Amino acid sequence: MSDAPMGTKEPFIRISKRTSIGKCRAWSIRIIALLLSLIVSGLIIYAIVRMSPVKVYVSMFEGAFGTTRRAWITVRDTMMLLCIGVGLAPAFRMRFWNIGAEGQILAGGIAAAACMIYFGAVLSGPALILVMVITSIAAGAVWGLIPAVFKARWGTNETLFTLMMNYVAIQLTGYCVSLWENPFGSNSVGIINQQTKAGWLPSMFGQSYGLNVVIVLALAIGMYIYMKYSKHGYEIAVVGSSENTARYAGINVRRVYLRTMAISGAVCGIAGFLAVSGASHTISTSTAGGRGFTAIIVAWLAKFNTIVMIMISLLLVFLEKGAVEIASRYNLNAYASSIITGIILFFILGSEFFINYRIRFRSGKKEKEVAAE
């Protein structure tokens, strides 16, 4: 018998939250969503350029992996996005919405650039790299700690606070750029230590970005172990589920806030170090490049699993490189190529709704109603 009161109709569509879903079924939904996105994108591609979508998708692959240099640049950008996602994972798992990754990256990048400029001629190569890493970690940790202190002490809104910290970091970066500009009047720092390469990460595997890969993969694996098997990881999960439950269990919620945000900011600070020392060798207001916001999608889609983040990061970077390639190859407007990327992301993000919720349609059969006597 229907739960609805007598004389009322059941809604045509009923949405209810799933209590659980198998991993195989969840990934099947994601794969179906990806295939549907490719079909819809293919129809739009054909409508715009009257070309086979398969050829366009091949062009996207060539844009990301067509040459050795392109492949390594894709890997470099994937590692950068992954590093930021790894930094966001513990904070988001704690339900502390750290939207300040951009600022934490810039803080780490400023620290690394300062060390290169002021200590490049004083310290030896390994010592300089070590100092850069330590200062970048410290700068990112401090930038993450500031909103955590206010949240823990006064209950401020961490979303707004961390977002505003991004703008402070941008202005601070602009000040440093004007302070270190080279040549004078260029409004640019230029390539730091271009002749001596002091503070540049050394090559590995015969590639300039090889060490970036090793560092970020080590961070991803280490963070996975930390959050899944350590006491601190357990505390993060409990606080994220319920602060009251955490307090009842004897967990110091304020301490967890501070510790976790220090770790989150520190990892994002390492991303700033990699951007300056392992990639661009300069600092500017665009060093973060919006990746702090893109990494939010990475962390959320991966359910804060840093191993799964590797695949998500690669997919997003592939879409970005592929969009640029088809825009230049087929003389498409940049917005047209971004539409394709947006469609694919829309379907991927939308698939999470069907993973978390069940949709039921009203049955066509009429149920008998029992009249109250």
- Angstrom distances, CA of residue 330 to CA of 61, 111, 291: 15, 42, 27
pLDDT at 334 over 70: no
Residue 343 has a pLDDT of: 86
pLDDT at 331 over 50: yes
CATH level 3 topology of 77-329: ABC transporter involved in vitamin B12 uptake, BtuC (1.10.3470)
Query: 4: Cβ–Cβ under 8 A, 6 or more apart, which residues?
Result: 10
pLDDT digits 0-9 by tens, 144-187: 999 999 999 999 999 999 999 999 999 999 999 999 998 887 88
Highest mean pLDDT (candidates 80-94, 192-206, 327-341, 345-359): 80-94
Residue 6 has a pLDDT of: 56
Residue 368's pLDDT band (cuts 50, 70, 90): very low
Say how far apart CA 271 and CA 266 lie, in whole Å.
9
Residue 224's pLDDT band (cuts 50, 70, 90): very high
Say how far apart CA 354 and CA 348 lie, in whole Å.
11
Which tokens is 78 given?
């994937």
pLDDT at 371 over 80: no
pLDDT at 8 over 50: yes
Break the chain into its structural domains and give their ranges.
1-51+331-373, 77-329
- Burial (CB count <10 Å: 0-12, 13-18, 19+), residue 37: buried
